[in-house]
Structure 1
Amino acid sequence: MAINNNYTSCFAEYIQGMISARAALGYAEEPYAAALHSFDRYCSDSYPECNELTERLVMSWVLKDNDDTKGVQGRARAIRLLAQYMNLSGQEAYVLPDRYFGNPKPKEVYMFTDAELSRLFSAIDALPESSRVPHSHLMLPVMFRLIYTCGLRPQEGRELHRRNINFQTGEILITNTKKKKERFVVMSDDMFALCRRYDKMRQFFYEDNRYFFPGSADGPIDGAWLNRQFQKCWKSANPDIPKENLPHVRIYSLRHRFASANLNRWMDGQKDLTAMLPRLRAYMGHYTLAETAYYIHLLPENLVKNKGVDWDAFSGIIPEVEPWQD
């Protein structure tokens, strides 16, 4: 097994092996790379001769900054994965109990009303060009509409490559996805026409950039900057509401609205949700059906009580998902 030269401790082979195994299963390295590098340096400096993942070693590293709760939880998750991999590889290792992980704080889910959504997009359309991102006033109205109408995760829209758009059929290959699960989505006719018009303008100012929404000469729009623009538009769309009373929204809220709008439309059309949910799951790129079924929790009360829907059919899958898992 090839060993990454960046790892120097006695556990280098297992760290690299775990990362390679997870990559083969479609998982990214980033969530645990920093913690594992920290563990590797810690072992090299403090336990250079130790070749067993003992409870003493694990606890001394995990709790080395015990006042940093977030850091403790991050180290705990990383070292637990490493120990599990080592055990599966035939090397005995101490597996940290899951009580050190804590409970992630649920993310607030906000569902836009029709009026709020209309005001929000009016504010987006009125954004001036940013000195930091040239031609942003042309890009952002298209990007936010694409995220909404196709139910994309924010980074899937922000990091979309132009080559992944079929300008003949309106199909988009989504590649930068959660858990590396690629999928195709198809734009509506209106969205397709908007993207084609935007692309004709885009070719004049960023012809050589691979991203459909360029933020620099060779990269996409910065995520933090994009979120600030979104928050600015949300505030502008609700000028009569004090900032401290304004509901918290995220760009991700557009994806939530997409899911609930589809469910509402199907229910209005008396569609069988048990048959339609797998389609929505595939379109949105959810890993499990439970992630998709979670959106039923967000439907208005009068729809949830709709007698034409067999809600008991979902009782086994809806509770499986918490808001933070999407």
Structure 2
Amino acid sequence: MEIDRQRAHKNNADSPLMALPAIYRLLYSAGLRMGEALSIRNKDVNLQDGTILIHATKREAERIIALHDTMKDVLRDYIECRNRMPLSGLTNPEHHLFVKLDGTPVTDKAVYANFRSLLRKCGIQYGGRSRGPCVHSLRHTYAVHALANMTRKGMNIYAALPVLSASMGHHSLEATEYYVRLTRNTYADIERNSSAINAFVYPSKSKSHDD
């Protein structure tokens, strides 16, 4: 994967490259907002239980997210490499989880710039501000894939949506539906698990969408 092939070509203590592979994977696998991921501190991570306590939400409500086993391995490897750096305070419970090579917290600006660089390397066109794709697209993709997985495993759509909403830190199903733009053509199996009552959640493609 391109995120794992990145290399620093000069001695740049301000580089976030060491943390980026773990950040991108966490954004996608847990559906976090950028601010939530970068605000995580060491004390919030419990790899034994496979959970992370999230503080920095839009409405300042805490929630706990569960980590997949593969994500636990990624974070464990990252923390082990990070702690090898000859810097003091990295293991302090109050210290930020994701840091640059100089030990300072990774910034959203650095992630955004790197993401656009990755798009170029992957041959994906960047449409510009508000058109994307952008880092926030990973949260959207999480919502789509998580809902698809739950319904394909037999969970009723009415049960799946509240679970997804809670995992994303939303306070209403309407907020979650914004991220879940599935179509009947692409997700026919999900449509079969849905009723006509909630079909509005998955609108058909319009001509403007195809254009």
Q: Deviations over 1:197-234 (max 9, x none)?
A: 21111112255140111137564212112100011001
Equivalent in the alignment of 1:124: 3
Q: Which runs of 5+ in 1 are unaligned?
A: 1-121, 320-326
Alignment of 1:313 onto 2:192 = no
RMSD after superposition:
2.7
CA distance in 1, matches of 2:125, 2:177: 34
Alignment of 1:161 onto 2:41 = yes
CA distance in 2, matches of 1:295, 1:215: 30
Q: Which runs of 5+ in 2 are unaligned?
A: 204-211
- C-alpha contact 2:116 2:126 (8 A) present in aligned 1: no
Q: 1:179 deviation in Å?
A: 1.4
- C-alpha contact 1:165 1:172 (8 A) present in aligned 2: yes
- C-alpha contact 1:213 1:220 (8 A) present in aligned 2: yes
Q: 1:242 deviation in Å?
A: 6.3
Runs of 4+ residues deviating >3 angstroms: 215-219, 241-245
Name the TM-score, length of structure 2 as normaliser.
Answer: 0.80
CA distance in 1, matches of 2:149, 2:6: 31
Of structures 1 and 2, the larger Rg is shown by 1
Q: 1:249 to 1:280 in 2, by over 3 A?
A: same
Q: 1:167 deviation in Å?
A: 2.3
* Matched residue count: 192
User: Which of the pair has the greater relative contact order for Cα pairs under 8 Å at 6+ separation?
Assistant: 2
SS in 2 for 1:185: strand
Equivalent in the alignment of 1:193: 73
Letter in 2 for 1:284: M
Q: Deviations over 1:57-116 (max 9, x none)?
A: xxxxxxxxxxxxxxxxxxxxxxxxxxxxxxxxxxxxxxxxxxxxxxxxxxxxxxxxxxxx
Q: 1:190 to 1:158 in 2, by over 3 A?
A: same
CA distance in 1, matches of 2:72, 2:53: 14
Q: Deviations over 1:2-58 (max 9, x none)?
A: xxxxxxxxxxxxxxxxxxxxxxxxxxxxxxxxxxxxxxxxxxxxxxxxxxxxxxxxx
Letter in 2 for 1:208: G
Q: 1:243 to 1:255 in 2, by over 3 A?
A: closer
Letter in 2 for 1:252: H
CA distance in 1, matches of 2:3, 2:38: 16
Match of 2:134 among 250, 263, 272: 250
Which structure shows the higher helix fraction? 1
- C-alpha contact 1:125 1:137 (8 A) present in aligned 2: no
Alignment of 1:148 onto 2:28 = yes
Q: 1:160 to 1:311 in 2, by over 3 A?
A: farther
Equivalent in the alignment of 1:35: none
Equivalent in the alignment of 1:260: 144
Equivalent in the alignment of 1:13: none
CA distance in 1, matches of 2:202, 2:191: 17
Q: Percent identity?
A: 27
Equivalent in the alignment of 1:301: 184
Q: 1:223 to 1:270 in 2, by over 3 A?
A: same
Equivalent in the alignment of 1:119: none
